[in-house]
Structure 1
Amino acid sequence: LMRERITLHRRDIHKLIEAAVNEDVPGDWGGLWKRFRSVVEAIPRRACIAELEPIVADLAALHDDVDKLLEIHMESTNPSGNDSQSERQQSNSNADSIFEFEPAFEKSGSTAEPRTRTAEPPRTYPLGIVLKACPEIADYAVDGIGNWRDLMVTAAQVRGYLGVSPSAYEDACHVMGQETAAMVIACILQRAQHINSAGGYLRVLTDKARAGEFSVGPMLMAALRANGSPTRMAG
């Protein structure tokens, strides 16, 4: 059991640090990585429970430090509803320069797949962290999710599986911005079994976003914690 807890901590810490570095999240990731390696390298091949307990404790503490640093980044990136609203307005004003929906989107009942142009969407949160928090959406991607466009295209398809109407998703994209709407869909998919009406839930979040009262950061962190909860509880 102790070995399993160590393995879970090692897996999650490694993935989180790797994603943070790849996405250029500010922080002393080099120091955290060295700390991680020093703990891992000290794990004996054969040890009794008493010898493994402090290692589990060290990894659990390191896991918490990594989570806190990521949470600080998310909060600083989107600290308030007002900031969220201003970012959303900027995103809306530039929406046509990034993506556009099919003209017959509402009438056709299509999957609302956006057509990409040359511009890249603004990266509010690290894609690696989004996929760590919401790994299930990758199962719906034809060729995997390697960039933000892949995430948005997949989310546009997944909304149909969740029972979200084209109009509800289009409204969310216009209000939140297409990148944020895709992250919200990923979070909803991750918790689909706990949500009675995905479409109704999305409309509630869209209304909050319209009023400047919604930030996707806490939603992502909640998904991140839920996805890794067995590890943290074990620590």
Structure 2
Amino acid sequence: METDGIATPFGRRAMTLGMLASQAIVKAIPPEASIDKWKLYRWLCEARPKLRVSDRALSVLNALMSFYPKTELAAGDSMVVFPSNMQLSLRTHGMAETTLRRHLAALVDAGLLMRRDSPNGKRYVRRDREGEIGEAFGFSLAPLLARAGEIEQLAAAVTAERLLLLQLRERITLVRRDIVKLIETALEDGLAGDWMQFEAEYRVQILALPRIATPEILTAVLSALEALRTQILKCMEEQIILHNTAGYPDQTERHKQNSKPDSTSDLEPRFESKQDGKAEFQPGPVAMADAAAGIETGNSVGTGKSLDREMARRPVPPLGAGPEPQKPYPLPLVLQACPEIIPFGPGGTISGWRDLMTAAVVVRSMLAISPSAYENACAVLGPENAATVIACILERSGHINSAGGYLRDLTRRAERGEFTLGPMLMALARANGAPAKRAG
């Protein structure tokens, strides 16, 4: 075994303390030590991040180990390999000689190889008459055998860290899915709560994730996301419990729309049939009062042209005509998701649902949506939700070819129970980011 004396480098290469340490470790190898070289190489590949060597350097080491004739590295054998740079280049798929030298130096600095330079710096071997190796000059693989136990432990540590990272990423993915689904459900069902603030906190935590994360970073992010999920669940569970206990006769329940076809509302206009079979528009008291106010102030109110009268064209759906209109979403949420509609309100502001519906009529005309399409949407979705859909279409008008066709498609889907406003509003709120300026 080549453990006698000191091996100093040839030429201008300086002797380092690291080289002395590697030679001291080699001298301490137990006589009975041995290890399968390819098993050891697999450990090296696992422990590469800890050893701080590149994959190209490991490919050079693989080529060097392939020149060792035996499968096992044993303490009693000479573990010096002496291929030329040309042979090494062939076994490393044509690697350039300068690149080979750089990676060989990196392996020596990492303590995985040890140089045994000849007097003239060449790599060669002297054999006896029986052909056995007497003395060899090249690279010794003895440091690999000396550090086999350390390399195995490093490989096990890297494997455990990789599994921990995988588990943390899986848990973060599950918590992220829970938070997104819970916020969407709360918005769709109209639950009270600062859901946009929850969404903002969620995005802050997600943006804090680096491209290459450590277990410590992922653990902190996971704890923050789990705490946020607990807050959301607590907020939702409190409202669910209150909702389920609401059954007393003196408690005010959700407003039910009157679906009798012959009933009239004081706030809604109506259509009356004449003898010729044509329907004549009859404005309700509110619309008549608005028209009278317009006459008193000198403003002309054209037949069928007034904003209030156009909003009021929605006929009352007959019994069994379709699903009950969805509950309107909070107006501040609508304005936050669709700020583009605010300037179209009366006086350039929107302070209530009536202002939003007035603005929706103006936008409907601007987007070339037919009155029949808007009236049908009001009948199916309700006037508030129809105005909300118009605001959403205005927000995405640059991506919609036919606003009228899109509105009719959403209305048909709502009739079949396949469309709700929650996801659309949430997506627009995320896209707009900052809360919209609210009037009033």
TM-score (ref. length: structure 1): 0.53
How many pairs does the alignment contain? Answer: 159
CA distance in 2 between partners of 1:192 and 1:221 (Å): 17
Q: Which structure 2 segments of 5+ residues have no match? A: 1-189, 202-220, 241-255, 272-280, 284-302, 314-324, 435-440
After superposition, the Cα gap between the structure-2 partners of 1:141 and 1:125, relative to the gap in structure 1 and judged at 3 Å, is: same
> When you count strand as a share of all residues, which structure comes out higher?
2
Letter in 2 for 1:212: G
**Residue in structure 2 matched with residue 99 of structure 1 by the alignment:** 268
Over residues 87-106 of structure 1, what are the superposed CA-to-partner deviations in whole Å (9 max), with x where a residue is unaligned?
xxx5473894653379289x
More helix by share: 1
Match of 2:311, SS? coil
Distance 1:172 1:200 in 2: 12
* CA distance, structure 2, for counterparts of residue 226 and residue 92 of structure 1: 37
Aligned equivalent of 1:130: 334
The verdict on how the C-alpha distance between 1:176 and 1:26 changes in structure 2, with shifts beyond 3 A counting, is: same
CA distance in 1, matches of 2:327, 2:351: 14
Q: Residue type of the partner of 1:197?
A: S
Aligned-residue sequence identity (percent) comes to 47
Instruction: Give the structure 2 partner of residue 177 of structure 1.
Output: 382
Q: Contact 1:140–1:158 at 8 Å: present in 2 too?
A: yes
Q: Distance in 2 between matches of 1:28 and 1:179?
A: 21
2:326, 2:399 → 1: CA distance? Answer: 30
1:34-183 to 2 correspondence within 5 Å? 90-91=256-257, 93=259, 96=265, 98-100=267-269, 103=281, 108=304, 112-114=310-312, 124-143=328-347, 144-183=349-388
Change in 2 beyond 3 A, CA 1:226/1:101: farther
Amino acid of the structure 1 residue aligned with 2:193: P
Cα distance, 1:109 vs. partner?
Answer: 6.8
- Code of the residue aligned with 1:133 in structure 2: it is A
Q: Deviations over 1:53-89 (max 9, x none)?
A: xxxxx9xx89xx69x96xx97xx99xxxxxxxxxxxx
- Partner AA of 1:127 in structure 2: L
* Offset, 1:173: 0.3
Query: Which 4+ stretches in 1 moved above 3 angstroms?
Result: 26-29, 94-102, 107-111
**CA distance 1:135–1:28, change in 2 (3 Å):** closer
Does structure 2 conserve the Cα–Cα contact (< 8 Å) formed by 1:187 and 1:220? yes
Q: TM-score, normalised by structure 2?
A: 0.30
Gaps of 5+ in 1: 1-22, 37-57, 78-89, 116-120, 230-235
Let me know the Cα RMSD of the aligned residues: 4.5
The structure with the largest alpha-carbon Rg is: 2
What amino acid maps onto 1:174 in structure 2? A
CA distance 1:122–1:203, shift in 2 (3 Å): closer
Q: Which amino acid aligns with 2:394?
A: L
Partner of 1:215: 420
Summarize the Cα distance change of 1:100–1:179 in structure 2 as closer, same or farther, 3 Å threshold. farther
- In the alignment, what sits opposite 2:63? none
Of the structure 1 ranges 189-198 and 90-99, higher mean CA displacement relative to structure 2 is found in 90-99
Offset, 1:153: 1.4
Kept in 1: contact 2:340–2:394 (CA 8 A): yes
